[in-house]
Amino acid sequence: MKLKIAAALAALTGAMMLGGAAHAAVGVSFDFGNVAVGYSDGYYDHSHHWHRWAHRADMQRWSHDHHDGWHNWRHDDRHHH
């Protein structure tokens, strides 16, 4: 009887650990609220610090949703200054 309880507890503990690891892996996201002006090669945040886009998908999503703050050129392009 004690062996069955120990096996059940071990299985339950392992399942909880796996569930926590899987849940943590899904929690990565990008804070679009800190982007002030977007360019094809990165963005300035509201404190005017420069950042490169971590993922191309982030750039594409932000440019699609924020036409007023999007510039489809590099931030250092001489033709746009």
Quick: pLDDT tens for 22-72: 555 555 556 667 899 999 999 999 999 999 999 999 999 999 999 999 999
**Cα–Cα separations (whole angstroms), residue 79 to 36, 41, 76:** 21, 15, 9
In this predicted structure, what is the pLDDT of residue 66? Answer: 93
Asked if the structure places residue 26 within a domain, the reply is no
Give the Cα-Cα-Cα angle 22, 56, 69 (nearest 5 degrees). Answer: 120
Q: Higher confidence at residue 58 or residue 6?
A: 58
Asked if the structure places residue 2 within a domain, the reply is no
Asked if the structure places residue 13 within a domain, the reply is no
User: Would the pTM count as exceeding 0.75?
Assistant: no
Q: Higher confidence at residue 36 or residue 6?
A: 36
Residue numbers of the domain that contains 61: 33-80
How many domains are there within the chain? 1
Give the DSSP H/E element, type plus range, for residue 44. strand 42-45
Asked if the structure places residue 18 within a domain, the reply is no
What are the beta bridge partners of residue 37? 44
Asked if the structure places residue 6 within a domain, the reply is no
What are the beta bridge partners of residue 43? 38, 51
Contact 80, 47 (CB under 8 A): no
